[in-house]
């Protein structure tokens, strides 16, 4: 089994008087991860699956006494698909507050319901983790760094979902099922999603605009809705771990772009499935954008898996000076230009270098990316 980066982080936080909450998209291995952690506690844990109706009923309006009766003398309670259980946040709070020696672990296939149902009741009572598709560093540790670097053209097309990585030759069918699961199982269960066709249009529009600035006004005009609806649907896609947004950095210069965002997909395979293009990277006119999506998504995994406190942006001025990716940490900045073609030259804009305290500036290309995202 490939070792997940956050496994050690989670293990180090067991039995510290707080619940452990693990969210992330479907099929990234949350249940497998928790089961591997439970192996050393044989006979000392109990598992509940929120997809089962009797489990949801047992947790409905439960008191701390009733919950303890369900759990018995187990040391760990694992609640899978916790977002399916009404008032799950209150149930976990009761367990944490009344039974400090008990470890609660809850997982959810998205942030949609789980976060909204647990956030307030569990303030100060939880550790939160996000499990995403395999990262480059996880795959490199398993397969070897050299082999994984050779596989980058493959990853740019098919992505890094566990099942996609493991089941060679079945990628197209697996990605189709994953994309359908995102769009029609999680999101369409929400009352806020009234039009499945509109959701699909917005997702496709975002897929075709990866690496480019997105205006919600223009996005709404493109798919036939108002700005507010477009932004609401994008926010829901974020909460389902399909996409994430990169805001514009705006601090010091009058002519900095302020309102637009860039939107990236967590996984290149899902991106290519949505646009229906699995052609090899060598024949793709969008190769540079696929590389940019991959690199920025990998950097996001690095930040999340290592619990880094960083803010991420892109930067551009009305005079067309721009930097693909900027990070802020502790008041200093890293500036990064992402290039698929190793031969392309680039000079970082002087207005940025003169106005922001710079920690480092790098060109991230296929030769230099491995250390940066590991």
Region 263-292 average pLDDT: 96
Residue 256 pLDDT: 85
Domain boundary among 130, 162, 179: 130
Whether residues 187 and 54 share a domain: the answer is no
Give which of 49, 100, 47 is closest to 71, Cα–Cα: 47
Which alpha helices (DSSP H) does 21-63 contain, by range?
30-38, 53-59
Weakest mean pLDDT among 21-35, 44-58, 189-203, 255-269:
189-203
Region 336-341 average pLDDT: 93
Whether residues 121 and 200 share a domain: the answer is no
User: Distance from first CA to last CA of the chain, Å, rounded?
Assistant: 19
Whether residues 92 and 155 share a domain: the answer is no
Whether residues 97 and 230 share a domain: the answer is no
3-state secondary structure of 235: helix
Region 14-27 average pLDDT: 93
CATH number at residue 11: 3.40.50.300
3-state secondary structure of 315: strand
Query: Is beta strand 19-23 parallel, antiparallel or unpaired with respect to 103-108?
Result: parallel
Flag whether pLDDT at 372 surpasses 60: yes
Domain boundary among 130, 163, 189: 130
User: Residue 99 class from Cβ within 10 Å (0-12 exposed, 13-18 middle, 19+ buried)?
Assistant: middle
Residue range(s) defining the domain that contains residue 204: 136-372
Residue 195 pLDDT: 73
Residue 360 pLDDT: 92
Contact 163, 27 (CB under 8 A): yes
| Predicted confidence (pLDDT) per residue in 210-219, tens digit | 999 999 999 9
| Predicted confidence (pLDDT) per residue in 275-285, tens digit | 999 999 999 99
What six digits make up the tokens of 76?
Answer: 């760990």
Cα 324 from Cα 81, distance rounded (Å): 36
Flag whether pLDDT at 347 surpasses 90: no
Residue 123 pLDDT: 86
| Predicted confidence (pLDDT) per residue in 227-241, tens digit | 999 999 999 899 888
Whether residues 157 and 75 share a domain: the answer is no
Whether residues 32 and 172 share a domain: the answer is no
β-strand partners of 311: 328
207 to each of 176, 198, 293, how far by Cα in Å? 15, 14, 10
Residue 344 pLDDT: 66
Residue 113 pLDDT: 63
Give which of 134, 44, 133, 30 is closest to 82, Cα–Cα: 30
Region 108-121 average pLDDT: 70
Whether residues 101 and 205 share a domain: the answer is no
C-beta atoms surrounding 19 within 10 Å: 23
Region 337-345 average pLDDT: 83
Phi/psi at 276 (nearest 5 deg)? Answer: 70, 40
Domain boundary among 75, 110, 130: 130
Cα 287 from Cα 153, distance rounded (Å): 10
| Predicted confidence (pLDDT) per residue in 291-304, tens digit | 999 999 999 999 98
- Single pTM value for the model: 0.92
3-state secondary structure of 366: coil
3-state secondary structure of 23: strand
Flag whether pLDDT at 39 surpasses 90: yes
Contact 89, 115 (CB under 8 A): no
| Predicted confidence (pLDDT) per residue in 177-198, tens digit | 888 776 666 677 665 676 778 8
Flag whether pLDDT at 205 surpasses 90: yes
Residue 225 pLDDT: 94
Whether residues 174 and 114 share a domain: the answer is no
Region 330-348 average pLDDT: 87
Whether residues 123 and 221 share a domain: the answer is no
The tally of domains found in the chain comes to: 2
Percent of the chain with pLDDT over 90: 71
Whether residues 301 and 210 share a domain: the answer is yes
Whether residues 217 and 151 share a domain: the answer is yes
3-state secondary structure of 78: strand
Whether residues 118 and 172 share a domain: the answer is no
Residue 346 pLDDT: 81
| Predicted confidence (pLDDT) per residue in 56-103, tens digit | 999 998 899 999 999 999 999 999 999 888 889 999 999 999 999 999
Residue 230 pLDDT: 94
Task: Give the sign of the dihedral formed by CA 240, CA 278, CA 222, CA 293.
Answer: positive
Weakest mean pLDDT among 41-45, 86-90, 159-163:
86-90
Residue 255 pLDDT: 84
């Amino acid at each position: 089994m490939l070792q997940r980066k956050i496994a050690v982080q989670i293990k180090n936080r067991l039995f510290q008087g707080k619940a452990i909450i693990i969210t992330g998209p479907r099929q990234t291995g949350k249940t497998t991860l928790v089961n591997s952690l439970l192996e050393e506690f044989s006979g000392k844990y109990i598992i509940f699956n929120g997809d089962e109706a009797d489990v949801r009923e047992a947790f409905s309006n439960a008191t701390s006494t009733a919950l303890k009766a369900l759990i018995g003398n187990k040391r760990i309670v694992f609640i899978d698909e916790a977002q399916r259980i009404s008032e799950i946040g209150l149930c976990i709070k009761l367990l944490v507050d009344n039974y400090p020696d008990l470890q609660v672990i809850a997982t959810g296939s998205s942030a949609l319901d789980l976060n909204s149902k647990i956030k307030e009741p569990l303030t100060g009572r939880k550790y939160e983790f996000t499990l995403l598709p395999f990262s480059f560093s996880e795959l490199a540790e398993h397969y070897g760094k050299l082999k994984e670097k050779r596989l980058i053209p493959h990853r740019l097309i098919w992505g890094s979902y566990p099942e996609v990585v493991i089941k060679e030759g079945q990628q197209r069918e697996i990605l189709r099922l994953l994309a359908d699961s995102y769009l029609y199982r999680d999101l369409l269960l929400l009352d806020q999603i009234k039009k499945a066709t509109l959701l699909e249009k917005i997702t496709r529009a975002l897929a075709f605009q990866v690496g480019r600035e997105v205006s919600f006004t223009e996005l709404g005009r493109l798919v036939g809705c108002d700005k507010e609806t477009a932004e609401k649907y994008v926010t829901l896609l974020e909460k389902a771990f399909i996409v994430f947004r990169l805001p514009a950095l705006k601090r010091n210069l009058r002519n900095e772009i302020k309102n637009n965002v860039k939107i990236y997909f967590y996984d290149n395979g899902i991106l290519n499935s949505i646009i229906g293009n699995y052609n090899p990277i060598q024949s793709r006119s969008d190769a540079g954008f696929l590389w940019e999506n991959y690199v920025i998504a990998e950097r996001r995994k690095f930040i999340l898996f290592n619990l880094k406190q960083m803010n991420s942006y892109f930067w551009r001025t009305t005079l067309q000076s721009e930097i693909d990716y900027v990070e802020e940490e502790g008041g200093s900045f890293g500036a990064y230009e992402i290039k698929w073609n190793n031969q392309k030259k680039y000079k970082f804009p002087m207005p940025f270098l003169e106005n922001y305290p710079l920690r480092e500036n790098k060109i991230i290309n296929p030769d230099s990316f491995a250390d940066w995202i590991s």
